């Protein structure tokens, strides 16, 4: 499968909302996806079907016939998508370096004590693994 994240076909914010539903519960019909996302956003069933069609074209979602309807499932793992988007963000805004990202978050006071503790634990794990 071509990777929509690295293949240049970015997933829009609206498409991402649909993906989140599918990552949490799949397979789903278009009606089920619409029930999960449409009301809070004011979207019609037609809008959700358009978003699903775009995601199928981008190979982020796959379909399976189920009688006269289709079931939709993610073809792209959430972790793969987040990894690609995170890398793209760091490359675009911070020249490929993660340290300035953390510095920016710290300066903006966007890191809670729990975030800092989690980052410190991750760094300790990375140092142990690098020392093997």
Buried b (16+ CB within 10 A) or exposed e, 93-105: eeeeeeeeebeee
Joined together, the tokens standing for residue 112 give 């809670």
Can you name the CATH fold of 1-96?
A: Arc Repressor Mutant, subunit A (1.10.10)
> Which tens digits make up the pLDDT trace of 86-127?
899 899 989 989 888 888 888 888 888 898 888 889 888 888
Q: How would DSSP label each residue in 27-38? A: SB-HHHHHHHHH
Joined together, the tokens standing for residue 44 give 């019609």
Chain centre to alpha carbon of residue 69: 26
Q: Where does the pLDDT of residue 34 fall: very low under 50, low under 70, confident under 90, or very high at 90 and above?
A: very high
User: CB under 8 Å to 13, separation ≥6 — which residues?
Assistant: none
> Which tens digits make up the pLDDT trace of 79-90?
999 988 989 989
> How is the chain split into domains, by residue range?
1-96, 98-132
Q: What is this structure's pTM?
A: 0.75
Q: Where does the pLDDT of residue 132 fall: very low under 50, low under 70, confident under 90, or very high at 90 and above?
A: low
pLDDT greater than 70 at residue 8:
no
């Amino acid at each position: 499968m071509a990777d929509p994240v690295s293949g240049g076909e970015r997933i829009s914010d609206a498409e991402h909302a649909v993906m989140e539903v599918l990552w949490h519960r799949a397979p789903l019909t278009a009606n089920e996806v619409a029930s999960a996302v449409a009301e809070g956003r004011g979207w019609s069933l037609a809008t959700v079907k358009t978003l699903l069609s775009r995601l199928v074209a981008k190979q982020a979602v796959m379909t399976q016939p189920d009688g006269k309807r289709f079931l939709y499932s993610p073809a792209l793992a959430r972790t793969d998508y987040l990894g690609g988007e995170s890398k793209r963000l760091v490359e675009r805004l911070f020249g490929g370096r993660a340290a300035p990202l953390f510095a920016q978050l710290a300066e903006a006071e966007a890191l809670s004590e729990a975030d800092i503790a989690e980052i410190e634990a991750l760094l300790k794990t990375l140092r142990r693994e690098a020392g093997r």
